[in-house]
Each structure stands twice: as C-alpha cells, then as structure tokens.
Amino acid sequence: MEAFRPESDNAEGLNSDRHTRRGRARQRYMARQSRRGQARVLPQRPLKVEIGESIFSRAADSAVVIADAVQDRLRRLSWRSLRSQGLVIVPVLIGLVLLFTTLSAYSSGKVVAGVSVGGVSVAGMTEQEAAEALKRAWRDVQVTLREGERSWSVRASELGFRLDAAASARHAVTYGREQGGLGAMIGAAVRGVNLEPVVDLDLSVARDTLIRIAGQANVPARNATVRLQGVVVTHIPAQPGSRLNIGELLPMLASDPAGVVAKGTIDLPMNPVPPLIVDATPLVEYAQALLERDLVLEAYDPVADESRRYSIPPEEWGKWLDTQLVYHETGPRLYLSVAAAPVRAFLEQQAQALPEPLTLDLGDGVRAIQQAVANGSLNTWVTVRYEPYIYTVGRGETAYGISRTTGIPFYLIEQANPDRDLSELYVGDTIVIPSRDSLLPLRPVRNKRIVVDLSDQYLWAFENGQVVYEWPISSGIASAPTATGVFQILSHAETARGSSYTLCDANTCGQWVMSWFMGIYEAVPGLMNGFHGAVELPNGRYLGDGQVGRPFTFGCIMSQDDNAYKLYTWAEEGVIVEIRQ
C-alpha cells in the first residue's frame, strides 16, 4: 500500500492547485465586471442635436465621439462576446462609414451618397460633374414604342425629349440640403434614392418623328378581293387596318415628358381603318363565268383589209387577270383588270410571226384586250402596223413614180432619205420607204371603208361589208393629181377654204370655198387634201360648173353637195379611205 502514498500526496496537491485557479478566475471575472461598469459611463458630449445650421458644424466632433466610444468598447470585448455581438457591430460600422461619407460629401458641396438621377448615379459629384455625366448618359437613353406585338426603339432625343442637365444636376445637389434635410440625406445613404430628371418635349421634333414612324406602324386595311390562279377564282375576305393617332399621342407625351422617359415604353394609340370593299363575291362569280370562255383576238390590217384570228384559252389569258379598284361618285368598286406586261409579251410573240414589214400596235392591243375583259365581251382586235423598209429601184423608176406605186406621199419619202438626191436614181439603188403608219395615225374604224377609183371617177362607201353609198366624183387634174394609197378621215369642217397659183395675180391670190370638207392626207406639209362638196370660186362660179365625173380639182375628191353631206355625216374620224388608180 505504501506504493500509492505518493499518489495520495499528489492528489492533495492537485486539489490545492484547482482551488487556486478558481480563485484567480473569480478575480478576473470581478475585474471584468468592474470595467464593464466603468464603460457604461460615456464622455459628457451630447449626441443628439436639433436640425439646423449647428448639426453640420458639429458633425465632425460627433463622428469622433462615436468612433472613440466604439473603439473603447471593442478593446474591452472578449473574443466570446465579440463573436456573440458581431452581427450588431458590423452594421454599426457600415452605418458609421456611410454617415462619414455623407457628411464629407455635404461639407464639400457635392451630391450626397446614394443619389441617382434617372438611374444614373451622381453620388459624390460636383454639380458640373453631375451635369456632364447626365448629358453623356442621355445620348443612349431610348424609348420603346409598342403596338400590340410590334415595337420600335427610338432615342429619346429623336422623339423630341430634351434633358435639362443643369437643372437635373442642381436638383441632385440640393437633395438632403434644401430638399428633405437630414432625414432625406440619411435615407439616401442607407437605401438610395433615384430622382426624376428635368425633361421637356420639342413638339415639332416629336411630330416629325411620329410621322416617320407612322409609315411603319400604320396597317392598311385590306379590301375584299379575289385571288386568280389560272381558271381558279378564290374570294379573299376584307380585313380592317389601323392608323397611328398622332393628334392624341402628342399631348400625352407633352403632359409628363420625364415620366414617359422614366417608364421607357409608349403604347401607341391607333385608330381603326375600315376596308373600302367588304364583299367581293359578285366579282368572283363574274370572273368564274368569264374563265369558261376563250379570248378571241383579231389582228386587223387596215391597208390590206384583212384579219388574222387568235383564240386564247382561259388557262392562258386567265394568267393575265388582276383586280383594280375604281372610285366612282357613288363609292369605290372592284373590277377585273388585265396586267399590261404579260399581254404585251404575248403580242410581241405574235408580231414576230408576221411577214415583214408587218408588226402589231402593242399599245393598241393591250388597251383593246383590257377593254374586252372589262366589258365581258372577250372579242376584240389589234391594229396591224407597217415598219419602214428598203426599196430597190427598178428600171425606169423615179422617186415620184415610186411614191405613186407605194402610196406614200413624195415629201415623206424625201424626209426618210435626207442624204439622197432623189432626182438621180439608178437601177439597183436602195431608198427607205417610211412607215404607212404616218398616214394612219388614228385607230381604224374597222366596220367602215371608203373606196375611190380614180380611173372610173367613182366612190363606194362600205359598212360591215355592204355598200351603203356610191356615186360619181371628181379627182385632181393632171398637174395636181390625187394621191393613191390608203388613208383615213382625219378631220371635219362644214366649210373650208383653199387656193391655187392659178387664182393669183400680181397682187393677191383668190380663194375658193368648199362645203362639207373632210381631210384625209397632206399633199405637202400644211396643205390638206380630202373630200368635199361644191366649190365656189372667187368669181362666184362653181368648179366644174357644179358637175362631177371627171378630174376638176387640185388634188381633192369632190362630190355633189347633197352626196358630200351624206358622206360627211356618215364617216367619223378614223374611217379608212382607199384610193386606187
């Protein structure tokens, strides 16, 4: 048992040490409690002051007092209490930093902490710096215009909004001073504040931009119409449109420019636009009826008095169809129309198959087909025209003789060959014969034709292939012959005057008076030959003593007065006149 004594002695020593340590811990505890009691006694400096001029003059001292107190408190905190109270100390420290920063900004005349203008932070800036920062940011400010699912982004400045950067910066600097005081300043530092910029609106700029945007925003109304696909006709229903109401939008923008820019979006006010044609079913029925028939086109040659016939199936001419809106006094109406381009292409193809110098009057043909479809007849014709061609001179031919042979007045041949001396022509020479179209400028009247035979001195008038009038006439004398060829009625005059060198003396030239005159061609520029009745000479007598049946005139074709009147009232302008030798 002796061996455990030392162990028993050691136990007593340990108990003694344990009591000693406990005593020392108690002393330390008491000391801490004493220090805590002393720490509760703060320096006698007031932390609460009245709002006014004194608060900012004593702000630095207050900040120092608070900082000293916190520092003293931290020195006396144990690690255990520091850990338990850390969640309180950290916010206090952050608050002190914000307060110090805010007071520093205030004392320097800058924008206090936490202040933004229109989303742009200007905290800590001078008034001039804030104004420049706002100007830079304003360049990129955009406003979104919305209409349903559609939208357009536009710079605020393009829409007429103008930022007053100086006034906006001044507003920021005075916040927490003239505006809101200490409470506003502290609130801005803790929570932040976003001030509304000072913005106005230039109405003229806004109006011009909205007019431009309206071109994209407006939705035109769609009229009811038909879709034509070959021989298939489909009804397309009407659809209303919309138009931007600029008159309503401008006052809305002007009432609160800053608020509109802050919001960033503008819902466009739109007015409905009703369609002009709400039902096109009658046109569908009309088109379907037409597309059951062929389009019949004849190419009419007024010189030869012959026609070529083309029968175009609906599968082909139906591709030319379109619609056209026509405005009448009673309102708009929708019609079938024919597109010019495919018709012209078809006519050009047919013209290439004609023998030279024949061709087709393309413009005349397009108009004729369009009119035929519009009136539903589907039967029409196009005029055959003549191109200039090269004539080879034969044995014994003269330019004047070639004029009589071709039916082209001599002066027109001269004009077509300006570099040739037509008085000297030799066998094998070539000259240009101008187009006959210069003698037939009007669309021919197809169902009427006047034929004059110079050898028999006789006239026939045909309508629809039947003779309606015939009688003797008098043509030009040998020194002033009537031209041969194919012409047409160009003008009407109940009374006309003419003259000849044979009626001239040393001082004056006499004139004759003709009744029921119809011009048909120019013998020379400015001198028209044509049909007429009796000719009263300057001496009161009548040319040929009022008789007809042999050449009496100076190139015209004279009938007895009553017959001339019949022809005058029957033959409208455009009627073809064929004069044979």
How many other CB atoms sit within 10 Å of the CB of residue 86?
A: 10
Mean pLDDT confidence for 403-415: 91
Residue that is written with structure tokens 């739109």 in the block: 270
Q: Could you give the CA distance from residue 347 to residue 363 in angstroms, rounded to a whole number?
A: 10
* Percentage above 70 pLDDT, the chain: 79
- Mean pLDDT computed over every residue of the chain: 83
Is the predicted pLDDT of residue 62 greater than 90, yes or no? no
- What distance in Å separates the CA atoms of residue 58 and residue 103, rounded to the nearest whole number? 11
Mean pLDDT computed over 400-412: 90
In this structure, what token pair is assigned to residue 377? 């007849």
CA triple 467-472-477, angle to 5 deg? 130
- pLDDT confidence bin for 170, thresholds 50/70/90: very high
How far apart (Å, rounded) are the C-alpha atoms in residues 471 and 452?
Answer: 10
Q: How far does Cα 519 stand from its chain's mean position? A: 48
Is the model's pLDDT at 93 over the cut of 60?
Answer: no
Q: Write down the pLDDT at residue 227.
A: 87
pLDDT at position 50, please?
Answer: 34
Residue 331 pLDDT level (bands cut at 50, 70, 90):
confident
Q: Are strands 389-392 and 535-536 parallel, antiparallel or unpaired?
A: unpaired
pLDDT computed for residue 531 by the predictor: 97
Contact 280, 334 (CB under 8 A): yes
Least confident among 39-48, 66-75, 234-243, 352-361:
39-48
What whole-number distance in Å separates Cα of residue 431 and Cα of residue 423?
A: 12
pLDDT score of 29 more than 60: no
pLDDT higher than 90, residue 66: no
pLDDT given for residue 70 in this prediction: 44
Share of the chain above pLDDT 90, in %: 62
Q: How confident is the model over 250-302, as pLDDT tens digits?
A: 999 999 999 999 999 999 999 999 999 999 999 999 899 999 999 999 999 99
- Distance, CA of 408 to CA of 391 (rounded, Å): 12
Q: Examine the pLDDT at 88 and tell me if it is beyond 80.
A: no
Binned at pLDDT 50, 70 and 90, residue 500 comes out as low
* Residue 292, CA atoms < 13 Å, CB-side half-sphere: 5
What pLDDT does 256 receive? 94
Q: How far apart are CA 448 and CA 379, in angstroms?
A: 18
Which tokens hold the place of 491? 């003008």
Amino acid present at 67 = A
Torsions phi, psi of 148, nearest 5? 65, -125
* pLDDT (0 to 100) of residue 182: 79
Residue 303: pLDDT over 70: yes
CA distance 450 to 307: 18
Taking only the tens place, the pLDDT of each residue in 536-565 is: 887 878 888 889 999 999 899 999 999 999
Q: Kindly report the CATH class assigned to 445-580.
A: mainly beta
Which CATH code for domain 389-439?
Answer: 3.10.350.10
User: What per-residue confidence (pLDDT) applies to 212?
Assistant: 93
Supply the Cα-derived Rg of the chain in whole angstroms: 54
Q: Dump pLDDT digits (tens) for 100-112.
A: 555 555 556 899 9
Q: What is the pLDDT of residues 333-370, one digit of tens each?
A: 888 889 999 999 999 999 999 998 999 999 999 999 99
Averaged pLDDT, 405-411: 90
Residue 244 pLDDT > 50? yes
Per this entry, what is the length of the chain? 581
Please state the rounded mean pLDDT for residues 460-483: 95
Sort residue 333 into left (φ over 0), alpha (ψ -120 to 50) or beta.
Answer: beta
Over residues 380-408, the mean pLDDT reads: 93
pLDDT at 3 (0 to 100): 29
Per-residue pLDDT, averaged over 15-28, amounts to 56
